[in-house]
Chain A
Amino acid sequence: AQRVTQPEKLLSVFKGAPVELKCNYSYSGSPELFWYVQYSRQRLQLLLRHISRESIKGFTADLNKGETSFHLKKPFAQEEDSAMYYCALKTSGSRLTFGEGTQLTVNP
């Protein structure tokens, strides 16, 4: 069965420090992975997807099939990055399996 694990529920860093949000998955098929973000009082929205191999707001994420991981990274965290981050695995259509989320706090 598919599963997404985000081991850290809370992560706190200082402004300017590197940040890495961990995500591991379990899936027998070819994975399609996403990071969604929810800023305070805003709706859940897509941050980036592994297929695009893009950098959004300074964040990148590389799919490592050997380690079944899709960690989200940013070299220099900003206060506006404080939010709830969800890793998600697409299994079919609009069906996403979400991790439990990591609440990131960037302190000044």
Chain B
Amino acid sequence: KAGVTQTPRYLIKTRGQQVTLSCSPISGHRSVSWYQQTPGQGLQFLFEYFSETQRNKGNFPGRFSGRQFSNSRSEMNVSTLELGDSALYLCASKDRASTGELFFGEGSRLTVL
């Protein structure tokens, strides 16, 4: 099976812009979660989707949003970008039967100038 695929891999934006990141989970996985990774804060949970419904949300402002489509693909959006949003955004998928193992993508590296 193909692994978790994230696009784009790299992108540069300026403050105030918005960005949309995409994630295609492993075939058959219906749970998708997003994490932000920064040198200062480490890996932090953003949100989780299952069957197009948000199940969990981390402690991030409302500028961070996401959605999941019927084919389990997911997108996350960050509006009104700030310099501090520069990070590696990781997507992970999970099989419902899994005892907790997450399969991570390679990430989308966002730089905000």
- The chain A residues found within 8 Å of chain B, CB to CB, are 32, 34, 43-46, 49, 51-52, 86, 90, 92-101
Query: Min CB distance, B49 to chain A, in Å?
Result: 9
Residues of A within 8 Å of B55, CB to CB, are 93-94
The contact of B104 among A43, A49, A92, A97, by CB within 8 Å, is A43
12 residue pairs bridging A and B, Cβ less than 8 Å apart: A32-B100, A43-B104, A43-B105, A44-B90, A45-B103, A49-B99, A94-B31, A94-B55, A94-B92, A96-B35, A100-B42, A101-B42
Instruction: Classify the interface of chain A: helix, strand, loop or mixed.
Output: strand
- The chain B residues found within 8 Å of chain A, CB to CB, are 3-4, 31-33, 35, 42-45, 48, 50, 55-56, 58, 90, 92, 94, 99-107
Q: Considering the chains assembled together, what is the distance between the CA atoms of A51 and B50 in angstroms?
A: 23
The contact of B42 among A92, A93, A94, A98, by CB within 8 Å, is A98
Q: Considering the chains assembled together, what is the distance between the CA atoms of A90 and B45 in angstroms?
A: 11
Residues of B within 8 Å of A100, CB to CB, are 42
Q: Considering the chains assembled together, what is the distance between the CA atoms of A90 and B92 in angstroms?
A: 14
